[in-house]
Structure 1
Amino acid sequence: MIDSHSMRKKIGVSAALTTPFDDIGAIDWPRFAAHAKHLLGQGMQVVTAFGTTGEGISISASARAPLYERMAAAGIGAGNLVECVYGPSSQDAGDHARRSLEAGCGGILLTPPFYFKQPTEEGVYRWFAEVLERTGAAGRDVILYNIPDLTGVRVGPKLVARLRVAFPHAIAGVKDSSGDWHQTTALLAEHADLAILVGHEGHLAKAVRQGASGAISGVANFAPALVAKLVGGEDDPLIDALLGRLLKLPVVPAVKAILAAQTGDAVWARVRAPLQAVEEASALKACKEISAMISAGATDRAATGT
């Protein structure tokens, strides 16, 4: 086992980048790069492309392929990017992961298979093993993605332990987006030397105090300073008030609507099918109120020097 993986220092806060789309539904690369550059300028070492908040599952591999070239043209190195990789085919996931790792990415966020429901742990282990075997010598800095509400697959401590034994140089961490505090603490109890990254921002500060290294966070798209405070292990009641509103909305469209309200750029509100943009008046009002809450919180922090 690795005593303390370098990914723990690399990812304190990483924004799960939301993806802007142009008027024909293609990735708006200039906006995407500008947003990534802005967030990296807020103190992040890496940002994460095409995760859940980035609607990566709705974007083809060919459309995503120019990621590193486009970011390099904007002055963003491959090492500043974690890329989320999906299956459900282990061959496709392995080939994608290998290409990204060979391009020099900072890491891979690897989603488990998600079509066949209630697979056995042995079956899930074999799927991950096939992906990692396919990456070959390039295999490194892999963050396992535990998001069972969407994939139907739980990535628990036992599975992580088996993969660490089989692929000790590849497994770097786990992103736990289960929202289940017991799952988070179980991962921390057995694998705190890895980068344990918490997806539920409401659990983040207490998880860091128990050994988590940080977060890949959708909220960090529009509130990076708040998420950084939580990753510092410091509680802030603003996150509970914010999540109390956000989690009543369709989260990914709402994050984009909040960013549109914050920036004054309506392009950010566009989503890919099957998601639908926030349009209902009460939901739009809630998104604008969240944006205002973040602005007020930033003003308060500036006034108090915190």
Structure 2
Amino acid sequence: MKDALFGGVNAAVLTAMTPNLAPDPDRMAAHAKWLLANGCNGLGILGTTGEANSFGLHERKAILEGLIARGVPAAAMMPGTGCASLSDTVELTLHARAQGCRGVLLLPPFYYKGPSDDGLFAYFSEVVQRVGGGIALYLYHFPQQSAVPFSLSLLGQLLQAYPGTIKGVKDSSGDYANMQAMVREFARDGFEVYSGSDEFLQAILAEGGAGCITAASNANSHWGGIVYAKRTGPEADAAQATLTATRRAATSVPLIPGLREVIARSTGDDGWRTIRPPHLKLTAPQAEAVWAAWQAAGALPLPGLSPARAAE
């Protein structure tokens, strides 16, 4: 897809924290800059991997502002702003727009289960009307986590009602047929489909999708960048195989603490293991297992990342 606002590889960025569980913008900004220098075209901050729903409204604003103040380009970031509360969703989206972000990622209102498509359409209509334009809205399809899916019918309704504002979707369902259907149905109208699963990057690009927004990109973005640049051929195929292997390594243990473990060991920075409950740090056997799996995938050491560089 040409001219996609976030076309390419986007990391669902881990949120760094201090020992008292406060956001750590210095550590997070350094990681964000490394990602942009090592295969990432953009950054999905404050999504599932970033533990957005473990942070309050003021903390989420401060994280975005802190990254921008430390030189992470606002235009490269797609903050997660979808909340169960309509007013919070609107407030965070307006804040992201005011900071210079080009797009935001919206979870559906996830507390009440089983809403109708009509109810979801009414919710997103309110968001669009209250925000008033000036920022692209991307929908977050992750039914395993939110328990509220986006049907093709609902997407069609929203696109017809708000063309150019409802700009795309991140599909973290792991259902490639669903991603494929979204591309085939809506990409001709400029709708950007992003895979939330690394193993589908090469395939979704070939289909006409825009790229990926993935957790494992925190540590495999180098290979994602190769796939996005090359698309086909031996180098792209080998890089895609590494993406698939690293995704499987990342999901061999609880995903978020597992990625924190990989970054902590790669940088020598134990602070990356800090995580907010209800998530927990990995057990020692789990930590050894994910490190071994990442090594077996052929993805260590991480290109361009070293303890010395991480401290700069």
TM-score, length of structure 2 as denominator length: 0.88
In the alignment, the residues of structure 1 paired with residue 39 and residue 64 of structure 2 have an alpha-carbon distance, to the nearest angstrom, of: 20
- The offset of 1:297, in angstroms, is 8.5
Residue correspondence of structure 1 range 18-37 to structure 2 within 5 A: 18-37=14-33
In 2 relative to 1, CA 229–53 (structure 1 residues): closer, same or farther, beyond 3 Å? same
| Separation in 2, partners of 1:95, 1:72 | 18
Aligned position for 1:241: 245
The letter of the residue matching 1:117 is K
* Structure-to-structure mapping, 1:255-270, within 5 angstroms: 255-270=259-274
RMSD of the TM alignment (CA)?
A: 2.0
Name the amino acid aligned to 2:204: A
* Alignment equivalent of 2:159, drawn from 158, 164, 171: 164
Contact 2:9 2:225 in 1 (8 A): yes
- Deviation per CA, 1:228-248: give whole Å up to 9, x if none: 233343333223333333223
Give the ranges of 4+ consecutive aligned residues of structure 1 lying more than 4 Å apart after TM superposition. Answer: 296-299
Report the residue type matching 1:287 in the other structure: V
Matches of 2:155 and 2:92, distance apart in 1 = 21
Which of these residues, 38, 46, 50, is aligned with residue 46 of structure 2? Answer: 50
- Distance, in Å, in 1 between the alignment partners of 2:125 and 2:2 is 20
Aligned residue pairs: how many?
Answer: 293
Equivalent of 1:202 in 199, 210, 214 = 199
> Residue type of the partner of 1:288?
W
Distance 1:250 1:296 in 2: 21
In 2, Cα distance between equivalents of 1:71 and 1:87: 21
Matches within 5 A, 1:26-175: 26-138=22-134, 140-175=135-170
- Whether the aligned pair in 2 keeps the contact of 1:46 and 1:106 (CA below 8 Å) is no
SS in 1 for 2:104: strand
Q: 1:222 aligns with which of 206, 219, 222?
A: 219
Closer, same or farther: CA 83–5 of 1 in aligned 2, 3 Å: farther
Given the superposition, is the C-alpha separation of residues 273 and 157 from structure 1 closer, same or farther in structure 2, using an over 3 Å criterion?
same
Report the more deviating stretch, 244-253 or 119-128: 244-253
Task: Work out whether residues 77 and 101 of structure 2, in 8 Å CA contact, stay in contact via their aligned partners in 1.
Answer: yes
Shift of residue 33, structure 1, vs aligned partner: 0.8
Distance 1:9 1:66 in 2: 24
Q: Which amino acid aligns with 2:251?
A: L
Distance in 1 between residues matched to 2:10 and 2:218, nearest whole Å: 9
Q: Which residue of 2 is the match for residue 289 of structure 1?
A: 292
How far apart, in 1, do the equivalents of 2:216 and 2:204 lie? 17
**Corresponding residue number in structure 2 for 1:304:** none
Inter-partner Cα distance in structure 2 for 1:118 and 1:151: 11
TM-score (norm 1): 0.89
Report the equivalent of 2:275: 271
Q: 1:26-63 CA distances to partner (integer Å, 9 max, x unpaired)?
A: 00110011111111122533211111111111111111
SS in structure 2 of the partner of residue 25 of structure 1: coil
Between the two proteins, what is the percent identity of the paired residues? 29
CA contact (8 A) 2:80 2:106 kept: yes
Structure 2 unaligned segments of length 5 or more: list them.
Answer: 305-312
AA at the equivalent of 1:265: D
State which drifts further: 160-169 or 22-31: 160-169
Moved more, 236-245 or 171-180: 236-245
Provide the C-alpha distance between the structure 1 equivalents of 2:139 and 2:171, rounded to a whole number of angstroms: 8
Most deviating of 17-26 and 152-161: 152-161
Checking the alignment, whether the CA contact within 8 Å between 1:5 and 1:172 is kept in structure 2 is no
Distance 1:56 1:5, change over 3 A: farther
SS in 2 for 1:145: strand
Q: How far apart, in 2, do the equivalents of 1:147 and 1:115 lie?
A: 14
Is the CA contact (8 Å cut-off) linking 1:156 and 1:183 kept in structure 2? Answer: no
Q: CA deviation at 1:296?
A: 6.2
